[in-house]
Homo-oligomer: A and B are copies of this chain.
Amino acid sequence: MVTLKDLARITGYSVTTVSRALNGYDDVNKETRDIILAAAEKLEYTPNINAQSLVTKRSKTIGFLVSDLKRESAKDNFTFEVLCGISEFVTEAGYEMILLSTSSSKQKNKTFRQIVSERNLEGIIIQGLKKEDPYLQEAIKGSVPTVLVDIPIENETTGYVTSNQHDSVKKAIKYLARLGHRNIAYMNGHKHAYVSEIRYQSYKEGLSEAGLEVDENLVCYGDYEEEKAYRASLDFLLSNPEVTAFFCASDIMALGVLKAAKELKLDVPKDLSIIGFDNILLTQYTSPTLSTIGQKPFELGKRGTELLLEIIQNSSTQRHIIIQNELILRESTAQPGG
């Protein structure tokens, strides 16, 4: 390992001068700088970021905190795409990202503050935590720069990045209404997620704006799981034959509804239109293919990181970023009756 001291010894200058030359200070003789830079290059000198951060207090590291990063969550490439987006931007900015999972941190009885101070994290991006998660509360209250994915809360050191779920859900509902659907059901996820609320609220508003009545009985709960959505919709469709369209808070649940429809010999989209949310790869392969609302998780990660670094550098003019979703129409939507 080559250190500043080595470079100092070899070039004959002091550690101080070497440090300044390498960090681009302009009070260094050009010749001196060239000599030092050449030596650094030759020896493949790399600054020790840990040592740097010890004195500068800037670790050039951020954390990405997600809820249980277990086997199952791997199915959900939303998190992974966000991760990719973060990774891309973070590296561009000369930072590095550490992956943190709440489950394992809790297991180790760490507080949010500890997670952060252990590694001197400059900021944290949070995704997928339940509303009532203590880490989330700590993060919001604390003074560590934080960016939340899909949780619309902001303050001095907290920002968020999300998509225009409100508009896109309303758009989907109104689209169904325009096709002639009068009884549009909603398959909601569990109540621990902010997005469930937002989407449900938007569903209701969409109905109202389309001149349709909101009927609480047309709401099912599938917990963002295919199997649960399948079972819930099986019963539901049997007892609510007037329903001709189903809007689902996630594609995974839409798959469950699709399965139930098939089992009940309902033709999709002739007897039942279905719209999902997420645009997962599978939606292009089902039969019929699934209409859905497409998010851009990669962008969420990338822009979220951008925002986080701005908050860290105190250079941000805003505390939130909204990414546009896209209503993707495929084969699972049509007029009622065909």
A286 at the interface (CB under 8 A from B): yes
* Interchain CB contact under 8 A, A84 and B69: yes
A16 at the interface (CB under 8 A from B): no
A313 at the interface (CB under 8 A from B): no
A104 at the interface (CB under 8 A from B): yes
A317 at the interface (CB under 8 A from B): no
Known: A77-B74, A99-B99, A286-B285. A117 touches B1 (CB 8 A): yes
Q: Which residue of B lies closest to A105 (CB)?
A: B91
* Interchain CB contact under 8 A, A49 and B118: yes
Q: Which residues of B contact A81 (CB under 8 A)?
A: 71, 74
Q: Which residue of B lies closest to A302 (CB)?
A: B71
User: How distant is the Cα of A74 from the Cα of B87 in the complex, in angstroms?
Assistant: 12
User: How distant is the Cα of A46 from the Cα of B120 in the complex, in angstroms?
Assistant: 10
Q: Which residue of B lies closest to A281 (CB)?
A: B75
Q: Which residues of B contact A104 (CB under 8 A)?
A: 87-88, 91-92
Q: A46-B114, A91-B105 are in contact. List 10 more A-B contacts (CB 8 A).
A: A47-B118, A48-B120, A50-B54, A71-B84, A73-B84, A74-B297, A87-B104, A91-B104, A96-B119, A97-B99
* Interchain CB contact under 8 A, A46 and B113: yes
